[in-house]
Amino acid sequence: MNDMTKLQPMPWKTTVDESKLPPLPPIPRRRYLDEDFYQLELKHVWRKVWLLVGHETEYEKPGSYRLLDLDLAPVVVVRGKDMKIRAFLNSCQHRGATVLKEKEGCAPVMSCQYHGWTYSLEGKLVGVTQPDTFPHLNPGDYDLPELRCEQWGGLIFINFDKEAQPLREFLTKSVLDRYSPIFESPLRVVWRHAWDFNCNWKLPTDAFREAYHIETIHKKTVFQMIDCQRATTDMNHNGHDTITVPYWPKQAMQEGEWDAIPVLSKLAPLPLAATPEFTANVIEPNIFPNFSMAFQGVGFPIFSFWPVSVDRSRVEVLWLGVDWGDAPKSAEWETLIAGSSIVAEEDLGNLMSIQKSLAADPDKGIPLATKEIAIYQLHAEIDRLIGPENIAPELRVPDILRDFYA
């Protein structure tokens, strides 16, 4: 047995009294299938809200960059000479070729491979090949289009909407108060990975918004550690929520086959991990629309879910751990990441067959348990942003949980 077995559950005050919930209308299956609805999501959700794209430690020095190959638009996130991290469309303003091609790297300038136009790390057009062939060009009109880019601690978010509310307002005060101590701590990227699936982006998103599946899908892994039947949900405005799952009491802790559990006690935790809320529970915040994590004291995976088309999606995991400074990276991380990948594959293994089965009988609805209210909340927030009047009546999910939002 390991130190985790000493943890005792603490009562967590949830904002949602499940006995007071109204009946939840089933979620129409066509929301995962319908091209028009998908286009509404792109326009009113994905191009309007803040989207997590990485952690500042991935951008070590001026010129460090990463490309985001999104269905929404090609984007480059790059650290400038002034050390500020910015996001631009990866689209040369001459005839649209990409200004950086490798998925990540470090470049002194952004230089288009087509005809060689060059942009500074701050997005200014600084070089036009054979400038005398453009006698009427005003270079100031052709800087790279910049996207909004703001940080929450070390986390970097972008927004395609120039008029969007500031990131911190979008996150809401209760989310900031609760989780800023995590994201403002010294963290480091331990692992980054991506999977592509033939399914709508909401299927993997839904999978991280309930603990109902833990006892079955994760029976040999996380279920050994946490008691999903006592999971609670609290919901915030703007579509954010948290699932809180208590650790088993000592006497009920299982001796499982999942060797990630003993590793947790061998790595240095964040100070916050010693507070009662975090010693008693695995805390799983979901930040709307596409960011889910499971805080485990020494670090956590952040899963992001991206649309590729109506029936294709990409799931990215960004595994952040407590920064180990100049010390060598502990071998324990490998064990933990391997254990975490098993869990991810358990979560994601069903998705493509679910998509097919929804498509095979598209007019049904998906009934939700009280333990699945965060899924309902996700869908209701999507509709709030699209505007119900823009959605076919048979596809709508009415916002009936508003009174439960903190």
Binding site for Fe ion (CB under 5 A): 347
Q: To the nearest whole angstrom, how small is the minimum distance from the Cβ of residue 158 to ligand FES?
A: 22
Nearer to ligand FES, 26 or 114 (CB): 114
Judged by beta carbon distances under 5 to 8 A according to partner kind, the member of ligand FES, Fe ion, none in contact with residue 267 is none
* CA dist 349 → 195, 196, 204, 312, 355 (Å): 11, 12, 10, 15, 12
CA dist., res. 273 & res. 263, Å (int): 15
Q: Looking at beta carbons only, is 129 or 357 nearer to ligand FES?
A: 129
Binding partner of residue 367 among ligand FES, Fe ion, none, CB cut-off 5 to 8 Å per kind: none
Full 3-state SS string of the chain: CCHHHHCCCCCCCCCCCHHHCCCCCCEEHHHHCCHHHHHHHHHHHHCCCCEEEEEHHHCCCCCEEEEEECCCCEEEEEECCCCCEEEEECCCCCCCCCCCCCCEEECCCEECCCCCCEECCCCCEEECCCHHHCCCCCHHHHCCCEEEEEEECCEEEEECCCCCCCHHHHHCHHHHHHHHHHHCCCEEEEEEEEEEECCCCHHHHHHCCCCCCHHHHCCCCHHHCECHHHCEEEECHHHCEEEEEEECCHHHCCCCCCCHHHHHCCCCCCHHHHCHHHHHEEEEEEECCCEEECECCCEEEEEEEEEEECCEEEEEEEEEEECCCCCCCCCHHHHHHHHHHHHHHHHHCCHHHHHHHHHHCCCCEECCCHHHHHHHHHHHHHHHHHCHHHCCHHHCCCCCCHHHEC
Beta-carbon neighbour count of residue 223 at 10 Å? Answer: 21
Rg from Cα positions in the chain? 22
Name the residue nearer to ligand FES (CB basis): 117 or 376.
117
- 347 binding partner (options ligand FES, Fe ion, none; Cβ < 5 to 8 Å by kind): Fe ion
Q: Restricting to residues 117-156, name those near ligand FES by CB under 6 A.
A: 117
179 binds ligand FES (CB under 6 A): no
- Cβ proximity to ligand FES: between 84 and 95 the closer is 95
Nearer to ligand FES, 110 or 368 (CB): 110
Using alpha carbons only, what angle is made at residue 62 by residues 57 and 65, rounded to the nearest 5 degrees? 60
Candidates 94-102, 202-210, 248-256, 281-289; binding stretch for ligand FES (CB under 6 A): 94-102
Of the candidate residues 6, 95, 101, 356, the single one contacting ligand FES (CB under 6 A): 95
115 binds, among Fe ion, ligand FES, none (CB under 5 to 8 A by kind): ligand FES
Binding mask 336-375 for ligand FES (x = CB under 6 A): ----------------------------------------
Q: Does residue 273 contact residue 263 with C-beta atoms inside 8 Å?
A: no
113 vs 390 by CB, closer to ligand FES: 113
Q: Considering the complex, state which of residue 19 and residue 138 has its C-beta at the smaller distance from ligand FES.
A: 138
Q: Answer with the entry of ligand FES, Fe ion, none that 97 interacts with (C-beta below 5 to 8 A by kind).
A: ligand FES
65 vs 295 by CB, closer to ligand FES: 65
Tokens of 254: 């299982």
User: Which one among 16, 45, 85, 112 touches ligand FES, defined by CB under 6 A?
Assistant: 112
- Told to check if 114 binds ligand FES by CB under 6 A, we report yes
Q: How far is the CB of 144 from ligand FES (least distance, A)?
A: 11
Q: Per-residue string for binding with ligand FES, 41-80, x by CB under 6 A?
A: ----------------------------------------
Candidates 27-35, 56-64, 88-96, 384-392 — which segment interacts with ligand FES by CB under 6 A? 88-96
Contact between 115 and ligand FES by CB under 6 A: the answer reads: yes
Min dist CB 293 to Fe ion, Å, is: 12
Tell the smallest beta-carbon distance from residue 94 to ligand FES (Å). 3
Contacts with ligand FES by CB under 6 A lie at: 92, 94-97, 112, 114-117
